[in-house]
Structure 1
């Protein structure tokens, strides 16, 4: 694919500190997002990022591409796999990419989104519609 049909790849780091900040902002203090033993008791691969936080990172890639936060007019994803966040300074890396479709007559551009972590797809069937000036 060439640069005109591909969303520029974005990489986001998520650390445990980010999870604490997101929990405070969202009010979601579920211990699977901060407590290793609780995560293990729930058969998770470790402490996991909030799904909505992961979703927001993918949305940020779309907003950055449009250059306008109001440019994201439609957005949906399915959660495929959790993002395990190790207890270290490095955290987890989420990579967002996408395929840009042709603009519609209404001036919207649909983008099929992919987000991966450690080579595993963490958001599936993701798509967004954007309007873009310039």
Structure 2
């Protein structure tokens, strides 16, 4: 997998997560079980914790994606995409690991693994920056 594919798959992962927590709402609204405007905008969520964690995982993806995508794009513009091709996939893998840990629960081991996957993404991206500027 090259760096461009990693960015595209990361973007796809973000969209899948959005659908994952949003799609269960559609039948509830269509069947009149919940008002179409009943979701949380400034109020407490009534979604099951599993879906609340999926939403949080989705928002976490949005926090890191711009930096990762910018590093890959700039590497491409610099003509140095090959320098980071091998690392970019691991950023994506760490993101997927973080997401799965986030959705599965809040036990110590899951929170610890989520933090580890997050730090892996940060350090891998920083290392890519280092490789590109040095």
- TM-score w.r.t. structure 2 length? 0.27
Q: Which has the higher helix share?
A: 2
Rg larger in 1 or in 2? 2
- TM-score w.r.t. structure 1 length? 0.27
Q: Which has the higher strand share?
A: 1
